[in-house]
Amino acid sequence: MLRNYFKIAFRNLWRNKLYSFINIAGLAMGIAAFILILQYVSFEKSVNGFHRNIATTYRLLNENPKGETWPQVEPGWAQKAKERFPEIKAYCRFEEGVGQGIVRRTTENAEPFRETNVGYAEGNFFEFFSFNLLEGNAAAFKKPNVVFLSKAAVKKYFGKDEPIGQSLILYNQFGKATYTVNGVYEIPVNSDIRYDMVFSLETLSNPANLNDNDWAQLDNLSSQYINTYFQINETADYKKLEQKLNTLRNELKKDKDGLVFRLQPFANVHLPASFSDNYQTTGNLKYVYILSIIAILILVIAWFNYINLSTANALKRANEVGVRKVVGASRGSLVLQFLGESVLVNMISFGLALLIVQLLQPLFNTIIEKELAFTSLLSTPAWVAGLGLLIVGSLLSGAYTAYSLSGFNPVETLKGKLVKTNKAVVLRKSLVVFQFSISIGLLLVTAFIYRQLNYMQHKSLGVNTDQLLVIRGPQVDKDSTYKQRRTAFINALAQQSFVKDYSLSGSVPGNGYNFATSGFSQPGSRKGDELKSFSFALIDDRYLNTYEIGLKAGRTFTQPETMVEWNDNDKVLMNEKAIEELGFKSAEEALNTKVQWDERKLQVIGVVKNYHHVGLQKAIDPIIFYPQSNSAYFTVRLQTDRIKDNVAQMETLFKSYFRNNPFEYFFADENFNKQYISEQQYSKLFTTASVWAIVIACLGLFALATYTVEARTKEIGVRKVLGANVFTIARLLSKDFLQLVFIAFVIAVPVVWYTMYRWLENFAYKVQLSWWVFAAAGIVAIGIALLTISFQAMKAAFANPVKSLRTE
Amino acid sequence: MIKITNLEKYYRTEEVETVALNKLSFEVKEGEFVAVMGPSGCGKSTLLNIVGLLDDPDGGSFLFNGIEVAGFNERKRADLRKHNIGFVFQSFNLIDELTVFENVELPLIYTGVKAADRKVRVEEVLDKMQIMHRRNHYPQQLSGGQQQRVAVARAVVNNPKLILADEPTGNLDSSNGNEVMQLLTDLNEQGTTIIMVTHSEHDAKYSHRIIRMLDGQTVTENILV
């Protein structure tokens, strides 16, 4: 019997090639999208899972009264907690960012590289975490001045040379120090901790190695800069430990800062357990959910195609059902038969989907910016759930068809009556509406994300970032000759014909501020104003000119003013927002009043027009500009169309003054737009998803149109005989479908409006939810639907009525 | 074999109720060949569907081999049908996706006959219907007469006690029609009861008895043999 079912299923697929193609192609596309996304979800769930002690490991977080958390804590707590609380078996501290600098081999003329993905870590780092050591042993990391390298770093610095026992020099804020390579490790792709190289924290326990950076002392309880992880006893309750840690904090912390400790299970560091878990994470649960929802929606669209096409095809199958019933088939055996067909179609589609996955993997990886492979799927049990969903879905979509087809009354089907039951038609229409609601919804979301992105990238920033090249300042060899060399470099740069303007600054637009602090007031301030936070940007006398930032009142710094020592300076610039925050009514008032900054008095010598120093997600911050010839960045405004040559010239110049430093530069506009990576990612994702969904939905619509035309062949013939022209026939056939697409549009609009309204709340500067975007998307959707249907509609309309009447 | 008493069947749409069978009574004995005639819409096909257990009546009694089947549910009817009744239709109603052999095999599959036995029985009946050489062809590759022979083969492969034929020659030319009628006569002679709905006086003459219907009732009975 089974063989008979499969036989007839195969022959049916073969006979109705168009129908089968659309069904299988649509399902394969849906399943492929699902598998790709499942890979991603599976990968995200697997992150950090390889650590053997993950279940008993916790990360220490700081939490402020607003409920914001961050993992940088003071380094002194770990040891104090370990001594006090026996349930703590071990701790491991490591920092991310503090140690970055420039690294080179000790050999003469070795090439220096800037390393941002490096840090200092506890001596037990390779015992506490489960990284694979390829060379060296974990205990060798406990000594000071030891570095362990990733495989990539070994290749970068040593090529094919044996790295163990070799030395590397690290130049960073702690000065210059030499480290011996004692180990090589491998980090799995699904690890959150991703050092290119890791230096022994033990090095910093020697005050001589701190280069006067006392804030970094390993036993201090005042500078939050290190990540702290605890391993606790299996029987211990981490919530109780959290309470004890807070008691300890209150006991030892003299200046009350309103912060509390939180313990975050290591398993929740990448993805939180739920949306209500607000602790800082390294992954994005929202993104995982959005992708999962998209995956399921696309799959559902494909299944709905299946249901729609199978029930539409019922006309052709009705006779078969009738015959089978007459010769003795029970309803049960027919249900089994149609379920079998559904499983067969799904299996073929699944095979095809695997092929599509292989083809689309690179594109998908670009969108999600991860290196995933099919094997990522198998790394967690998520694939079992995925497979389960596929099976259940294919059975359910088959079940409806099976149920409705097997219910046909043989008396009627054998006479060629029936088939157009109202229930089936209503269902078919509802499914089409659903498919197009999703498609139009995705299209609209794409449109708004794209518009917002475009807006952010093109809105006037109040600063001109075109033709601005920024060179990172030197970090190596900042000795007594450094200031002299810097001046000489600047002067040489200024003489180049392609340099229109230049500036030295501690921060540049797009790269944040130097720091933020509070404690400002003026005679007219209200109580509590001193708690307001102001961002600091260290700039020279040419910064505003070079960046073409306007002055509202007053003047900018003079060159001598930028040379004054930090504590002796009493002059600042402020932007309009800062003036407003301080309660000044006008720029002039600010210029005539001294501002108090803790113990110091500052004169506002100029008011800078508001401009966007950071991305448009954030409102303009109050900024205080402090004069300093800081050499974190050299900015050059170019007047040239030979950028490549000029960059080479600048590199030669740079190298001649700062020999052991890497020459690194970026363009200010590109750098600024890097702040929109997340939005760009969403934009790419939704564009792909909406195209995918629309293609599948249109495949279904095309097939439905084909069936409708077939089913109405006689009607069309009669109408033509009675005088209907091609246009009326085409309109008649298209009208019903377009109505459905329109209903779908009406359903999609409010849902999208609400969703995008919420999304746009993330942006201080945003596009309007303009009605015309909705209208345009509606027109596009209806246009696409019309194109899809029109082929069949026109074919029917042009058909010879004699022929169409004869077919009945 | 069949005893029908005061059988009623109505068709309802939202506004109209049509009486298809109006207290119809008649009887068919085992081994009989009965033709049912009457104008279109007189209830012939409705009667055939009820006798064939494809449809249920709205009133009256229907004894099949002495068992009251008027109240049977679909499952019971299907079960009784597949063991006892074979159908032959005007439009053949073969499944296009199955070969001649597979079409004829179908009823045996649903009655659970083993594959080896099926093969023997299907070949036997195809042989009898002289269509064996076409066993691997699909219906659309056959002439109308050949298709109807396959349909007859399918109707008899299960050795049913009763064959219901609904205008079996309606789509055939006269020589093919005669062939099919001869087949039915042969089957009847071998003991199978046959009820045939027909418009053709010529075909009706092959039967033992003609029941004429009008407006859902029998009006006359002509005994031919």
Spell out the domain ranges in chain A. 2-43+285-456+677-806, 55-94+226-280, 96-223, 468-672
The CATH architecture one would assign to domain A96-223 is Beta Barrel (2.40)
- Which DSSP letter does residue B95 get? -
For residue A420, pLDDT beyond 60: no
- Which DSSP letter does residue B32 get? -
Residue of chain B minimizing CA distance to A9: B97
Q: Are A207 and A174 in contact (CB under 8 A)?
A: no
The helix/strand/coil state of A200 is strand
Taking any CB pair shorter than 8 Å as contact, residues of chain A touching chain B are 1, 4, 7-8, 11-12, 15, 319-320, 322-331, 333, 409-411, 414
> CB pairs below 8 Å between A and B: how many?
67
- Residue A25, both tokens: 């192609």
pLDDT value, residue A808: 39
- Distance between CA A6 and CA A17 in Å, rounded? 17
A554: closest CA among A518, A603, A505? A603
Please give the average per-residue pLDDT across A207-212, as a whole number: 87
Q: Are B150 and B129 in contact (CB under 8 A)?
A: yes
Burial of A83 (0-12, 13-18, 19+ CB in 10 A): exposed
pLDDT value, residue A614: 92
Confidence class for position A804, pLDDT limits 50, 70, 90: low
Asked if the Cβ–Cβ distance from B54 to A323 is below 8 Å, we say no
- Distance between CA B149 and CA A204 in Å, rounded? 98
Which amino acid appears at position B139 of this protein?
P
Asked if the Cβ–Cβ distance from A8 to B78 is below 8 Å, we say no
Asked if the Cβ–Cβ distance from B97 to A15 is below 8 Å, we say yes
pLDDT value, residue A267: 94
Give the one of A330, A333, A414 whose C-beta lies nearest to B89's C-beta: A414
- Distance between CA B161 and CA B158 in Å, rounded? 9
Contacts of B79 in chain A (CB under 8 A): 330
Q: What percent of chain A has pLDDT over 70?
A: 97
Asked if the Cβ–Cβ distance from B54 to A4 is below 8 Å, we say no
Distance, in angstroms, between A16 CA and closest chain B CA? Answer: 11
In DSSP terms, which residues pair with A621 in a beta bridge?
A: none
- Residue B89, both tokens: 């239709």
Q: What percent of chain B has pLDDT over 70?
A: 100
- Residue A430, both tokens: 């509802």
Asked if the Cβ–Cβ distance from B87 to A329 is below 8 Å, we say no
The helix/strand/coil state of A137 is coil
E strand intervals along A99-159? 101-105, 113-115, 118-121, 132-135, 146-150
Asked if the Cβ–Cβ distance from B52 to A326 is below 8 Å, we say yes
pLDDT value, residue B92: 86
Q: Are A709 and A405 in contact (CB under 8 A)?
A: no
pLDDT value, residue B126: 93
- Residue B163, both tokens: 């064959």
Terminus-to-terminus CA distance in chain B, angstroms? 19
**Rounded alpha-carbon distances, angstroms, from residue A745 to A77, A297, A309, A688:** 58, 16, 22, 20
In DSSP terms, which residues pair with B85 in a beta bridge?
A: B162
- Distance between CA A166 and CA A159 in Å, rounded? 12
Mean pLDDT, chain A, rounded, equals 88
H/E element, B87: strand B85-89
The helix/strand/coil state of A602 is strand
* A746-776 pLDDT tens trace: 999 999 999 999 989 988 889 999 999 999 9
pLDDT value, residue B211: 92
Q: Where do the structural domains in chain B lie, given as residue ranges? A: 2-223
- Residue A702, both tokens: 């095309």
Q: Are A605 and A573 in contact (CB under 8 A)?
A: yes
- Which DSSP letter does residue A126 get? H
* B43-93 pLDDT tens trace: 888 898 899 888 888 999 999 999 999 888 878 888 888 889 999 988 888
For residue A611, pLDDT beyond 60: yes
Asked if the Cβ–Cβ distance from B110 to A15 is below 8 Å, we say no
- Distance between CA A401 and CA A394 in Å, rounded? 11
Give the one of B74, B97, B110 whose C-beta lies nearest to A328's C-beta: B110
Distance, in angstroms, between A315 CA and closest chain B CA? Answer: 14
* B84-130 pLDDT tens trace: 999 998 888 888 888 999 999 988 988 888 989 999 999 999 998 88
The DSSP annotation for A275-319 comes to TT--S--SS-HHHHHHHHHHHHHHHHHHHHHHHHHHHHTHHHHHH
Asked if the Cβ–Cβ distance from A329 to B55 is below 8 Å, we say no
How many residues can be counted in chain A?
808
Q: Are A572 and A624 in contact (CB under 8 A)?
A: yes
Q: Does domain B2-223 have CATH number 3.30.450.20?
A: no
Asked if the Cβ–Cβ distance from A333 to B110 is below 8 Å, we say yes
Backbone phi and psi for residue A192, each to the nearest 5 degrees, phi listed first: -75, -35
Asked if the Cβ–Cβ distance from A8 to B97 is below 8 Å, we say yes
CATH number (1.10.10, 3.90.1200, 3.40.50, 3.30.70) of A55-94+226-280 reads: 3.30.70
Q: What percent of chain B has pLDDT over 90?
A: 47
Q: Name the least confident of A405-419, A563-577, B112-126.
A: A405-419
Which amino acid appears at position B177 of this protein?
G
Mean pLDDT, chain B, rounded, equals 89
Confidence class for position B33, pLDDT limits 50, 70, 90: very high
Give the one of A8, A330, A409 whose C-beta lies nearest to B98's C-beta: A8
* A13-70 pLDDT tens trace: 888 888 888 889 999 999 999 998 888 888 888 899 999 999 999 999 999 887 888 8
Q: Are A169 and A176 in contact (CB under 8 A)?
A: yes
Confidence class for position B16, pLDDT limits 50, 70, 90: confident
Please give the average per-residue pLDDT across A425-431, as a whole number: 85
Please, which residues have CB within 8 angstroms of residue A635's CB and are 6 or more apart in sequence?
Answer: A468, A469, A470, A471, A502, A503, A504, A505, A508, A543, A546, A547, A668
Q: Between A317 and B86, where is the model more confident?
A: B86
Please give the average per-residue pLDDT across A389-405, as a whole number: 84
Q: Which residue has the tokens 């008895």?
A: B209
The helix/strand/coil state of B135 is coil
For residue A567, pLDDT beyond 80: yes
* A709-732 pLDDT tens trace: 877 877 787 787 777 788 888 888
Please give the average per-residue pLDDT across A132-160, as a whole number: 94
Give the one of B49, B82, B91 whose C-beta lies nearest to A327's C-beta: B82
Q: Name the least confident of A91-105, A368-382, B93-107, B117-131.
A: A368-382
Taking any CB pair shorter than 8 Å as contact, residues of chain B touching chain A are 49, 52, 54-55, 74-75, 78-79, 81-83, 87, 89, 91, 93-98, 102, 106-107, 109-111, 154, 158
In DSSP terms, which residues pair with A105 in a beta bridge?
A: A168
For the CA atoms of chain B, what is the radius of gyration?
Answer: 17
Determine which of B40, B46, B49, B95 to mutate to test the interface with A (most A C-beta atoms within 10 Å): B95
pLDDT value, residue A690: 86
Residue of chain A minimizing CA distance to B98: A8
- Distance between CA A149 and CA A236 in Å, rounded? 35
Asked if the Cβ–Cβ distance from A328 to B78 is below 8 Å, we say yes
Distance, in angstroms, between B160 CA and closest chain A CA? Answer: 11
In DSSP terms, which residues pair with A140 in a beta bridge?
A: none
pLDDT value, residue A805: 65
